[in-house]
């Protein structure tokens, strides 16, 4: 059996083909599984993953990760002695575990954001392979329960460019991690397809005449733009390289909007913009590092012992009424994800209302952040300009003008983003669809072309 697998930065989705049309499979209570994982301890992941693999996969995994698994078993025994839950959690359940006790266990959101990070060492790459494998295994098992048969083949979506500073080296690293994780998770045939191209395939099924379409896919971690020839005379071709006229992609996504709103709307409550007794301002990078949950280096800096000592020194040099102790509390209790999650909830509310009040009582009793739509617009403006530049790059690379625009991706639901794109290209029809499911559906259509004859 084959599937289209959207291993997304924010959500995972799976689709299969039935009678010529894609169908999204439920992944628990929803068709979309948030891309989050919680473990009792980071070093316990390998042991928990090993137990979840089938015997044939387990044997190969133990040869690859034997010492790591042994260390994991020791950590897990200690965790059980302390009364901690000895299991992996995914999606909303992982978020709930984290919110219950932010300073206990290991929580990661959007691991896909880190796969192209520059300078990852072999142990870090192995950790990300295990995290991604655990999530893929969970999704594959969910799909098999729904379908009643093994799933061994998949077309998996990939962004044009992963989040990394090393260009194609970052892309190769990320694809290698995804491919190895998929293999360990039991997929025997795996192909990758650009996510905007996959989304375009799903949109193409609705077209009644040929057109050049600018596909703008704004996900949780990246924005990808592709210029594609589409329509009735193209849709049945297996090889579509000639129809891909140009593309661009960059590390701009919904997570970045959340982080910027966190800095703009919440960090002033934690001391940002204050001055020390010497008259010097508090260093802004400290606050950005605290909020940058999609940046390995930034989070490593913020949670380092050096930053702990620096915060102590800064508090001694701060005014008596300084808000900086709240930032120190955030660091001590590992609350970066929680703060950004509050900003994300505020961003969602600001789509429908002018103001949003978000509780920050985990930092201080009675503390709330007052967010407003103008604040979100100000925080979003630099990101929208970058999205506009990516659209221009894709059009320029194609050498032709688009006939219409198709917007997709979870972040495409934002009224700010839709309004910006319509204002930028006012004379073109702008279409949308299933913002979360179009990539998975397009991947399933392509999977049928690749694997359909043999039934994968």
The arithmetic mean of pLDDT across residues 439-450, rounded, is: 93
pLDDT bucket at 164, cuts 50 / 70 / 90: low
Phi/psi region, residue 415 (left: phi>0; alpha: psi -120 to 50; beta: rest), is: alpha
Which one is predicted more confidently, 17 or 202? 17
Cα–Cα distance measured from residue 345 to residue 264, given in angstroms and rounded to the nearest whole number: 15
Percent of the chain with pLDDT over 70: 98
Q: What top-level class would CATH report for the domain 2-195+444-451?
A: alpha beta
Does residue 456 carry a pLDDT above 50?
A: no
Q: pLDDT, tens digit, for every residue of 8-60?
A: 998 999 999 999 899 999 998 899 999 999 999 999 999 999 999 988 889 89
pLDDT band at 161 (very low <50, low <70, confident <90, very high): confident
The DSSP call for residue 275 is: B
State how far the Cα of 181 lies from the Cα of 167, in Å rounded to an integer. Answer: 22
Q: How many CA atoms lie within 13 A of 116 on its CB side?
A: 23
What distance in Å separates the CA atoms of residue 407 and residue 441, rounded to the nearest whole number?
15
Judged against a pLDDT cut of 90, whether residue 291 lies above it is answered with yes
Is the Cβ–Cβ distance between 274 and 319 less than 8 Å? yes
Q: Are the C-beta atoms of residues 260 and 380 closer than 8 Å to each other?
A: yes
Are the C-beta atoms of residues 181 and 136 closer than 8 Å to each other? Answer: yes
Res 400 pLDDT > 80: yes
Displacement of CA 147 from its chain's centroid (Å): 26
pLDDT at 121 over 60: yes
Lowest mean pLDDT among 32-41, 149-158, 178-187, 412-421: 412-421
In the predicted structure, residue 391 carries a pLDDT above the cut 50: yes
Rounded distance, CA 348 to CA 358, Å?
Answer: 12
Mean pLDDT across 400-404: 96
The phi and psi torsions of 42 (rounded to 5 degrees) equal: -60, -40
Strand partners, 355: 372
pLDDT number for residue 15 = 97
Chain-centroid distance of CA 123 in Å reads: 22
Please give the residue that has the higher pLDDT: either 393 or 161. Answer: 393
Q: Quick one: pLDDT at residue 165?
A: 56
Measuring CA to CA, how many Å separate 412 from each of 114, 201, 360, 379, 409?
Answer: 22, 17, 28, 17, 5
pLDDT per residue as tens digits for the range 84-102 = 889 999 999 999 999 998 9
Residues 25, 17: Cα–Cα separation, whole Å: 10
pLDDT at 222: 87
Please count the helices (runs of H) and the strands (runs of E) in the chain. 15, 16
Domain extents in the chain? 2-195+444-451
């Amino acid at each position: 059996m084959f599937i289209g697998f959207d291993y997304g930065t924010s959500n995972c989705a799976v689709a299969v083909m039935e009678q010529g049309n894609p169908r999204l499979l439920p992944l628990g209570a929803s068709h979309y599984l948030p891309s989050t994982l919680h473990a009792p301890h980071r070093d316990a992941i390998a042991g928990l993953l090993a137990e979840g693999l089938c015997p044939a996969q387990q044997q190969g995994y133990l040869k690859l990760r034997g010492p790591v698994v042994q260390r994991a078993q020791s950590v897990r025994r200690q965790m059980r002695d302390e009364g901690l839950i000895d299991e992996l959690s995914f999606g909303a359940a992982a978020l709930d575990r984290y919110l219950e006790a932010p300073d206990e266990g290991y929580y990661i959101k959007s691991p896909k954001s880190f796969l192209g990070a520059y300078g990852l060492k072999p142990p870090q790459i192995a950790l990300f392979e295990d995290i991604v494998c655990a999530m893929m295994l969970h999704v594959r098992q969910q799909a098999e329960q729904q379908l009643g048969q093994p799933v061994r083949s998949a077309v998996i979506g990939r962004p044009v460019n992963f989040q990394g500073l090393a260009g194609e080296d970052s892309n190769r690293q990320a694809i290698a991690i995804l491919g190895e994780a998929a293999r360990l998770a039991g997929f025997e045939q795996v192909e990758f397809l650009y996510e905007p191209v996959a989304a375009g395939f799903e949109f193409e099924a609705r077209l009644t005449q040929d057109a050049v379409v600018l596909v703008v896919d704004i996900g949780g971690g990246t924005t990808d733009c592709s210029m594609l020839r589409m329509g009735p005379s193209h849709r049945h071709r297996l090889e579509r390289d000639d129809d891909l006229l140009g593309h661009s992609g960059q590390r701009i996504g919904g997570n970045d909007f959340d982080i910027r709103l966190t800095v703009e709307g919440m960090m002033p409550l934690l001391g940002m913009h204050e001055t020390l007794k010497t008259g010097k301002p508090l260093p802004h990078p400290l606050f950005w590092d605290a909020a940058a949950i999609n940046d390995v280096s930034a989070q490593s800096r913020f949670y380092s012992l050096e930053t702990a000592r620096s915060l102590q020194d800064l508090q001694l040099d701060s005014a008596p009424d300084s808000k900086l102790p709240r930032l120190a509390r955030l660091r001590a209790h590992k609350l970066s994800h929680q703060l950004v999650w509050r900003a994300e909830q505020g961003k969602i509310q600001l789509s429908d209302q002018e103001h949003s009040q978000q509780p920050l009582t985990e930092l201080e009793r009675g503390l709330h952040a007052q967010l407003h739509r103008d604040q979100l617009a100000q925080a979003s403006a630099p990101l929208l300009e970058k999205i506009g530049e990516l659209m221009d790059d894709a059009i320029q690379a194609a050498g032709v003008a688009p006939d219409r625009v198709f917007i997709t991706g979870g972040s495409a639901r934002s009224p700010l983003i839709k309004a910006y794109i319509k204002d930028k290209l006012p004379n073109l029809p702008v279409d949308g669809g299933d913002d979360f499911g179009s990539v998975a559906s397009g991947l399933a259509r392509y999977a049928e072309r690749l694997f359909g004859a043999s039934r994968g």
